[in-house]
A and B are shown apart, each in its own frame.
Chain A
Amino acid sequence: MKKLLKSLLVLATLAAMPMVAMEPALARVEIDVNKGVIEPLPIAVTDFLGEGLGAEISSIVAADLKRSGLFAPIDKAAFVEKISNPDAQPRFEDWKVINAQALVTGRVSTAADGRIRAEFRLWDTFGAQQLVGEQFFAPMANKRRVAHIIADSIYKALTGEDGYFDTRVVFIDESGPKDKRLKRLAIMDQDGANVRYLSKGTTIALTPRFSPTRQEITYMSYESGQPQVYLLQIETGQRELVGNFPGMTFAPRFSPDGQKVIMSLLRDDGNSNIFAMDLRSRNTTRLTNTNAIDTSPSYSPDGSKVVFTSDRGGQPQIYVMGADGSGQTRISFGGGSYSTPVWSPRGDLIAFTKQVGGEFQIGVMKTDGSGERILSSGFAQEGPTWAPNGRVLMFFAESAGSGGPKLRSIDLTGRNDQPIPTPNYASDPAWSPLLD
C-alpha cells in the first residue's frame, strides 16, 4: 500500500511583511460560529503561482472552504488585482472593492529534492494585515494533503476552531443489483478524492470505523461465513479477527484511547448484548445483559460513558451507561424510534438516526437527551459520523427509487447539506481523526 501517511510535512512560518500591521485588536475579519445562521464569509482565493500545480492546489483550498458552508469564495473573474508576487503586500483597496473580507495568496514550486514547496498567506483586507503566513514541504504524492492543510489553517485562523479538511473517510462501496449487492471497504479523502479499496468485495463488509489513535479500522465482515468483527491495518492490509466468539459479533467501535473495541455479541437466544474487548489483554467485559437487542455502542470522548441502542422498552431507543455498564438510562423520548447514536468528539452532543412518520431523520441531542434537533429528513438516511471538530456530520441517504445510497454531509446548523462524491453507491461513512 502507498505510504500516504506519516509523510513529512514540514511547516515553517513565513516572515510577515515589515509593513504589515500585526496588532490583533485591529483585525476585523472573523466568523462567529456560534451564530445560528452563518452568512458565509466572502473570501478571495487567488490562483497560487507556479505552473499548473499552484492553481490546482489553490482550487482544492477554495473547494474545501466553500463546502464548509462558512466561506463564499469569490468568482475569480471579479478580481481586480492580479497577484504577481505573493510575498508583496496586496493592494487591499482592490480586494475591498469586491467585498473580499479575506484574501489568500500563494506559490508552489518544486524543491531540489523533488518535493513540492507550498507557501501561502492569508490577508485581512479590511484590517490591512497578514493573518497567516506558512510554508510546507511535501512529496508530490501528497499535494492534495498540502491543500487540505492550508485550508485547515485558514479555517482555524478565521473561525478559531480546528478544521477537518486533512482527514479521510472509510466507507462501504456498493455496486451491483440491490439483491446481490457487492459491499466493499473503501477509503478516500474527506472531499471524495483518492478512493482506494481495502477489501475485494467477495463477501459483505459493513460498518467500518476509524481508530482514534492509529491507522487502523474495525469493521464487520462475512468472510468466515459467520458475521464477525475484524481489525484492519490500513497501511499493511493486515487483518485480524477480534476475539473468538461463538456467534455473530457486530457494531464495533474503538474506545477513545484506541485500546478497546466495543461491540455487540449475539446470544444463543437471539438477543444481542454489548461487550468491550481490551485489544492488549484480549479480556472481554460484558456491559449489558438483557433479553433485548443492545447494539450500536459509542464511547464518550473521555471514555467514561457509552451511548447505545436498545429495544428493551419495546422499540429501539437510545440509552447511556457508564463504561462499566452501570446506570443504564434511557435518554430518547421524542416519539418514534432512535438508533445509531454517536457521541460527538467534543463531548457535547449525540448524533442519531430517528424513524418517525415513515421517514428517517438525522439529528443531534444533548447527552442527557434534551435539546433534540433534526438536521435532515428523508425516505432513508442513517449512520451519522462526526468530523473531528464536532461541527459537521456525514451520513448516507437514499431517496425512493434512487436505487442505492450516497454519502452526504451536513453541518450543525442543518443548512449546509452537501453531497459527497463517490464512484458508486456508498454507505457507512466513518470520519478519521485529523491526520498527522
Chain B
Amino acid sequence: MRRIAAIARNPVAVALVAGLAIAGCASKKTPNNAGDLGLGGGAGAATPGSAQDFTVNVGDRIFFDTDSSAIRSDAQQTLARQAQWLNRYSSYAITVEGHADERGTREYNLALGARRAASTRDFLIAQGVAGNRIKTISYGKERPVAVCDDISCWSQNRRAVTVPRGAGS
C-alpha cells in the first residue's frame, strides 16, 4: 500500500541521443615565449647569498611546454645557475614547487606538477646539489601566477619554482 500507483513503465535504459559529432584533433599549443620573468627589484641590488639574490639574480623558476615535464634548454641554463648558487651557499635547503596551467583537469595536473618538480630536482642533483637538501611539492593548477585566460598566462603558469629555505646568509 505504500505506493498506490502502479503505472506501467519501462525499465530504465539510457536515453541515447544521436551521437554528437566529435570533431577536431588534439590541439598543441604553441610553445610559450615567457622567457625570464623580470622579477621586480633591480638586478644586483640584493645581498649576495640572500634569498632575494637567488630570486633576482639567479632566477627562481623555469617553464615547461604543454603537458610536458621535460627540462627545456632555456630552463637548463637557469637550473645550472641555480645549482651553482646552491653549491656555493650550501646552508640553504630548497623546496621545488611544481605547477601546471589551467588547461588540464585538477587531479591530473596535481600529478603533472609533481612530475615537473621531480624532473627539476633530478636536474639539480645531476648538477651536484645534494638530494637531501631538496623537497618537492606539487600545487597542480591551484596556484597560478598569471591569471588571464589565454596562452600568455598559461605559459607562465607551467612552471617549477625553487624556493630557498632555512638557514642561509
Contacts and interface: CB of A to CB of B under 8 A. Distances in A.
Interface of A: 11, 13, 16, 22, 24-25, 27, 29-30, 32-38, 122, 124, 130-134, 156-161, 177-179, 181, 183, 204, 206-207, 220, 225-227, 247-248, 250-251, 264, 266, 268-272, 293, 295-296, 309, 311, 315-316, 334-337, 339-340, 346, 348-349, 353, 355-358, 364, 371-374, 379-380, 382-383, 400-401, 412-414, 427-428
A7 to B, nearest CB: 20
A104 to B, nearest CB: 13
B142 A183 contact: yes
Nearest to A339: B105
Interface of B: 1-20, 22-27, 67, 69, 102-108, 110-112, 114-119, 122, 137-139, 142-147, 149-150
Contacts of A295: 107-108, 110-111
B26 A270 contact: no
Contact of B27 (A340, A346, A357, A427): A357
Nearest to B27: A358
Quick one: which of A132, A177, A181, A373 has the most chain B CB within 10 A?
Answer: A373
A17 B96 CA distance: 73
B15 A412 contact: yes
B15 to A, nearest CB: 5
26 contacts: A11-B2, A24-B6, A29-B7, A34-B15, A179-B145, A179-B147, A206-B106, A207-B107, A220-B110, A226-B137, A248-B137, A248-B138, A250-B110, A264-B111, A270-B116, A272-B111, A311-B108, A316-B108, A336-B24, A339-B107, A355-B26, A356-B25, A373-B20, A374-B22, A412-B14, A414-B17
Given A357-B24, A357-B27, A373-B20, A179 B143 contact: yes
A225 to B, nearest CB: 8
Given A132-B4, A270-B118, A373-B20, A227 B110 contact: yes
A266 B5 CA distance: 53
